[in-house]
């Protein structure tokens, strides 16, 4: 079973403001240079899509209403949604904030046939959380995902195992995972535009055309996808980035934004019980040239103070920048579980003090919201350079 929440961020906002229902709405920051995070289906009718620049969305749908995102609110609702899933089955693989795969084979005796389980799940999410959800049910993850896509919005589609191949062979080749625009063009030159045509092509021919991808899509064309639902999904990286409303050349502002991103990233690391051994900095200049730099550490960290210090060092090591910065990002990689992770003890107690302070921040934010308390340098949106002689790292009060 693949469950996908419909226009999730917009749907959550509608709970707080029912006047948004039935209107053209998008969730995004109020800046032509930001991107659409979520769009109502009324806005999508005009061609508005997620990840589209807000400026482009406004040109397509000038009357659209823009709602500022509240990521903490969406995370809380996501947790509640996943809680409903786990009450149906303990085999839940969350793949994003608003979608998951469920293996309901073991719940059939208790809850009924898969179609009944799908209906019950949608009813519970609507009744308990007030949100719409689309469910696709099939014999494999791949086909269940296609089923939910075809059932949107707020729908339910079951593909019985014996109908899997016939269903797939009725679809365009772009329905297959791994067939993007470039691969589609390669296949089109060979006269392949449908899944049925691809399935009828010898696997050796597909391998010569597309390499390893050819064999992969050929298996999918016949409904072969043996991957199980995996309840524990290990994050490969955690990070955040920000696109500025206006290009920034001021180092103080860039370092302050890195501090904001470091706190967002560190909170996610701690929430997931993870630590990072590698910190990466991403810069995109005004001409869209993008570069990344990274640094690896001997021990894993989950402290914003440490992440910020490494990111600032990477930024300063770049030297004078050729032009102003359009986007800045911080990402943590080489993630390890917190339990039992090796941790290098510091002779200077300040580092452990910052770690304890940040964990206290997590508790405050969970109870009172992210705006309740934060780094002094970021209060009021005004960055200040660190005072000379400050002994503390550039963390909570740097």
What are the tens digits of pLDDT across the range 28-60?
988 767 889 999 999 999 999 988 889 999 999
- Joined together, the tokens standing for residue 239 give 């990070």
Cα radius of gyration rounded to whole Å, the chain: 24
Mean pLDDT of 280-293: 91
- pLDDT at position 230: 87
Indicate whether 323 pLDDT > 50: yes
Whole-angstrom distance, CA of residue 307 vs CA of residue 194: 48
In tens, the pLDDT along 336-373 reads 775 433 344 333 444 555 566 666 665 555 555 555 55
- pLDDT at position 185: 93
Residue 263, helix vs strand vs coil:
helix
- pLDDT at position 352: 52
Phi/psi-derived region of residue 131, left when phi > 0, alpha when psi is between -120 and 50, beta in every other case: beta
Out of 24, 42, 93, 99, the active site residue is: 99
- pLDDT at position 299: 81
- pLDDT at position 29: 87
Nearest Cα residue to 65 out of 129, 131, 14: 14
Active site residue 99: yes
> Is 98 marked within a binding site?
yes
Q: Taking the complete model, does pTM exceed 0.85, yes or no? A: no
Q: Where are the alpha helices (DSSP H) in 102-211?
A: 108-111, 114-129, 141-151, 164-168, 181-189, 195-200, 203-210
Domain extents in the chain: 2-70, 72-164, 172-221, 238-381
Q: Does domain 238-381 have CATH number 3.50.50.60?
A: no
pLDDT category at 393 given cuts 50, 70, 90 is very low
Report the topology of domain 72-164: Alpha-Beta Plaits (3.30.70)
Q: Does domain 172-221 have CATH number 3.40.50.2000?
A: no
- Joined together, the tokens standing for residue 109 give 């005796």
CA separation, residue 245 to residues 11, 34, 62, 269, 383 (Å) = 26, 7, 19, 27, 16
Average per-residue pLDDT in the chain?
85
> Is 390 marked within a binding site?
no
- pLDDT at position 71: 85
Indicate whether 233 pLDDT > 70: no
- pLDDT at position 107: 87
Helix 8-16, helix 71-88: angle, nearest 10: 110
Indicate whether 106 pLDDT > 60: yes
pLDDT category at 391 given cuts 50, 70, 90 is very low
Sign for the pseudo-dihedral over CA of 171, 172, 174, 179:
positive
Indicate whether 291 pLDDT > 80: yes
Name the architecture of domain 2-70. 3-Layer(aba) Sandwich (3.40)
């Amino acid at each position: 079973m693949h469950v996908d929440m419909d226009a999730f961020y917009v749907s959550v906002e509608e709970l707080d403001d029912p006047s948004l229902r039935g209107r053209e709405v998008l969730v995004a920051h109020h800046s032509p240079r930001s991107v659409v995070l979520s769009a109502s289906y009324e806005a999508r009718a005009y061609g508005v899509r997620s990840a589209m620049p807000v400026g482009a969305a406004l040109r397509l749908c000038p009357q659209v209403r823009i709602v500022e995102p509240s990521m903490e609110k969406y995370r809380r609702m996501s947790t509640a949604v996943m809680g409903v899933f786990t009450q149906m089955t303990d085999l839940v693989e969350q793949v994003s904030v608003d979608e998951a795969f469920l293996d309901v084979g073991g719940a059939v005796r208790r809850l009924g046939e898969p179609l009944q389980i799908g209906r019950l799940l949608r009813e519970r999410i609507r009744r308990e959380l007030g949100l719409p959800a689309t469910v696709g049910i099939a014999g494999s993850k791949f086909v269940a995902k296609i089923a939910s896509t075809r059932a949107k919005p707020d729908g339910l589609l079951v593909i019985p195992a014996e109908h899997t191949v016939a269903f797939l062979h009725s679809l365009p080749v772009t329905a297959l995972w791994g067939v993007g625009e470039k691969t589609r063009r390669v296949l089109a030159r060979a006269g392949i535009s449908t899944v049925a045509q691809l399935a009828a092509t010898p696997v050796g021919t597909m391998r010569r055309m597309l390499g390893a991808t050819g064999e992969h899509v050929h298996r999918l064309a016949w409904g072969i996808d043996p991957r199980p639902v995996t309840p524990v999904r290990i994050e490969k990286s955690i990070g955040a980035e920000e696109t500025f409303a206006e290009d920034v050349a001021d180092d103080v502002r860039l370092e302050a934004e890195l501090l904001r991103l470091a706190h967002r990233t560190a909170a996610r690391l701690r929430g997931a019980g993870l630590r990072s051994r590698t910190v990466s900095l991403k810069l995109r200049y005004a001409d869209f040239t993008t570069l990344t730099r990274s640094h690896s550490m001997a021990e894993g960290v989950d402290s914003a103070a440490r992440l910020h210090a490494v990111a600032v060092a990477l930024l300063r090591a770049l030297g004078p920048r050729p032009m102003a910065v359009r986007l800045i990002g911080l990402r943590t990689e080489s993630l390890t579980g917190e339990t039992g992770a090796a941790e290098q003890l510091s002779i200077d107690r300040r580092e452990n003090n910052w770690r304890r302070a940040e964990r206290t921040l997590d508790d405050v934010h969970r109870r009172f919201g992210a705006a309740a308390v934060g780094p002094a340098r970021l209060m009021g949106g005004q960055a200040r350079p660190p005072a000379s002689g400050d002994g503390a790292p550039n963390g909570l009060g740097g």
